[in-house]
Amino acid sequence: MANTSTPKKPTAKKTVVAQNNGQAEKKQTGSSRIKVQKTYKIFINGQFPRTESGRYYPLTLSDGSIVNLCLSSRKDIRNAVVAAREAQEKWAARAGLNKSQILYRLAEMLETRSSQFIEELQLMGATKEAAINETETAIDRLIYYAGWCDKFNAIFSSVNPVSSSHFNFSSNEPTGVVTIVAAEESGLLGLISVMAPVIAGGNTCVVLASESKALSAVTLAEVIATSDIPAGVVNILTGTRKELLAHMANHMDVNAIYLHSNKAEEIKEVETLSALNVKRARIEFVSNWFEPKEENPYRIQDFIEVKTTWHPIGI
Amino acid sequence: MGNHNVSYQPSISPPIDQISVEERCARFQSRSIKGETKVAGLKLALSMIDLTTLEGKDSEGKVKQLCYKAMHPHDAMPGIPTVAAVCVYPTMVRTARKALKGSNIKVAAVATAFPSGLAPLKVKLDDTKFAVEEGADEIDMVISRGRFLQGDFNLVFDEIAAVKEACGKAHLKVILETGELSTLDNVRKASDIAIFAGADFIKTSTGKIQPAATMPVTLVMLEAIRDYYYETGKMIGMKPAGGIATSKLALHYLVMVRETLGEAWMNPDWFRFGASKLANDILMQLAKDQTGVYQSLNYFSND
């Protein structure tokens, strides 16, 4: 932290010096306070458990410090999917306007925590300018999808002309539980650009955060936990794709998977395993998340199903 | 056959140390059961289930469907056992009996003005006799919790003894409804009363009151069974009911039974789970073990 550089109690320090000459020199170089290390946890059902496996992986930050992040296992995915399934129906049943308000509220909370996101993005290698840009774009993107919650159904549904005496109309329903394998290169914006449209459409999700840029995802989880998003709607895990990708793709209780990848073997694995329960698989690679075209309602449409109803008339 | 032809003396029930009971239960839940052991445990748990439907809206169709589920838990997976029994209201016994023809699955009926038990003794006995005449193999009765809490232990004892007599050949399970008994001391007392009055099984709950079965309550009841066995050499069965919906929890209950009562109780004759959701969860776990893929309830019959 920036505000801990000057020692507050010089008198106390002097006493230490007088008593123990051996350690005195070391302490004089900075604050004698021991920095409190944060335990980075995963986010399942509105709570912050450690990974069930008890494992972690170290991440070296740009200031030279090392943090430990949970190396989630397939059982964490299982627990997260149970939570997401439990939450899905209730989340989908909320009015579009209410979902709008909740997403907007999340954006408000992110705005007040923006300095932390900016700091963490820098710790993960971004320049200050890039970090500010990414954080601000991410918040704006959330606001953008908040606006769509109660509008997308109007533009993606239709009344269809049919040549029989039926009133025929199509409306949208959420796909269900979606696993998201978020962009590796863009820890905050890449995650929010995918997560926001998924939940705006009434789905719930289990996110595997970027492995090398995971701090933003953990902090986002902390913001979500104190926002109005119900428990289980968003679940965030940290870990490796190599280990978890198969389980995110083959889980029978998952209705769709989003994979951000340009690696042939990952794409093949997800496509093959998704076929098991005919999961919807949306696979893409976005090289620049800042582009305006990455902000569009069709991202909501990717995770909705169309239900068409034939209603007899004139009988 | 009353287990004893005397009234119940409260002094025979030892006081229960709640803290140590909870500690002990926490330790049962720390066991890690994997691989072959897990599969064997899951199959055992499945074979111990009393598949239950006790809704006001129950219909013959619903009961038939449940009976089919009992006989064919999941035909796509060969080699899995059937459940132990189907548990229904007395008026549904005949339907269940017919639907289960040719299988070894028992029909259990809740009787004695289930779930409140607030009816005159005569009505309770008639209810019991009706269920037995319709073909029930097992009767699940409720005790008069109000009278129990007033300290009227003799009345509770006499009622159980009378119902036991009305059961004839049918097995009697006595539901204590532990969610209404407030303390573990009371649970122990009610267990002793039921056992001494002639219960073949003691059962935690109706499933209509929260909390239903919990591990501490079940442990106290198992200990009552164990103490009675040490004293008389007679075995009494145990049935936790309500609130056991996951395979993991069911396995922890099995650990508790094994470590409290021993191997002899590890079969459907002496231990049952009263549950409706548990069966599908066990099936999903077994399918996960076979396929390596986590399962969805969408692919298992919803009964």
Q: What are the helix and strand counts (H, E) for chain B?
A: 11, 8
Q: How confident is the model at residue A31 (pLDDT cuts 50, 70, 90)?
A: confident
Residue range B270-285, pLDDT digits in tens: 999 999 899 999 999 9
Nearest CB neighbour to B296, from listed A77, A247, A252: A252
Using an 8 Å CB-CB cutoff, list chain B residues near A276: 293
Q: Which residue of B32, B296, B300 is the best one to mutate when testing the A interface, meaning the one whose CB has the most A CBs within 10 A?
A: B296
Instruction: Report the CATH number that the domain containing residue B269 is assigned in CATH.
Output: 3.20.20.70
Judge whether residue A21 has pLDDT over 90. no
Distances from the Cα of A234 to the Cα of A82, A279, B278, angstroms: 12, 19, 27
Assigned domain for B295 exists: no
Chain A residues closer than 8 Å to B34 by CB: none
Mean of all residue pLDDT scores within chain B: 94
Please say whether the beta carbons of A215 and A124 come within 8 A: yes
ipTM confidence score? 0.83
Question: pLDDT digits over B170-198, tens only?
Answer: 999 999 999 999 999 999 999 999 999 99
DSSP A227: S
C-alpha B217/C-alpha B156 separation (Å) is 20
Cα–Cα distance between A161 and A266 in angstroms, integer?
A: 42
Q: How far apart are CA B271 and CA B255, in angstroms?
A: 12
Site from A79, A175, A252, A273 to mutate, B interface, most B CB atoms within 10 angstroms: A252
- What is the reported pLDDT for A24? 43
- Weakest-pLDDT range from A5-9, A101-105, B136-140, B275-279: A5-9
Q: How far apart are the first and last CA of chain B?
A: 36
Question: For residues A12 and A186, what is the distance between their CA atoms, to the nearest angstrom?
Answer: 46
Interval A213-247: pLDDT, tens = 999 999 999 999 999 999 999 999 999 999 999 99
Is A299 exposed, middle or buried, given 0-12, 13-18 or 19+ CB atoms closer than 10 A?
buried
Which domains are delineated in chain A?
68-312 (3.40.605.10)
Q: Is residue B303 part of a domain?
A: no
Residue B238 belongs to a domain: yes
**Count of domains for chain B:** 1
Domain assignment present for residue B181? The answer is yes
Would you please indicate which residues of B are annotated as catalytic (active-site) residues? 140, 203, 239
* b/e sequence B23-51, b meaning 16+ C-beta within 10 Å: ebbeebeeeebeeeebbebbebbbbbbbb
Q: Considering the domain boundaries, does residue B25 fall inside one? A: yes
Q: Which domain holds residue B164?
A: 10-288
Structure confidence at residue A145 as a pLDDT band (50, 70, 90): very high
CB contact under 8 A, A250 and B298: no
CA of A220 vs chain B CAs: smallest distance (Å): 28
- Residue of A74, A285, A114 lying closest to B292 (CA atoms): A74
CA-based nearest residue in chain A for residue B246: A82
Helix (H, G, I), strand (E, B) or coil at B201: strand
Using pLDDT thresholds of 50, 70 and 90, give the confidence band for residue B3.
Answer: low
How many CB pairs (< 8 A) connect A and B? 23
**Min distance B175 CA to chain A CA atoms (Å):** 31
Q: Is residue B300 part of a domain?
A: no
In a domain, B172, yes or no: yes
Question: Is B294 part of any domain?
Answer: no
Q: How far apart are the CA of B301 and the nearest CA of chain A, in angstroms? A: 15
- In the predicted structure, residue B10 carries a pLDDT above the cut 90: no
In degrees and rounded to multiples of 5, residue A189 shows phi and psi of -65, -40
In this predicted model, what pLDDT tens digit does every residue of B199-208 receive, in sequence order?
A: 999 999 999 9
Q: What's the average model confidence in pLDDT over A269-274?
A: 97
User: Cα–chain-centroid distance for residue A180?
Assistant: 8
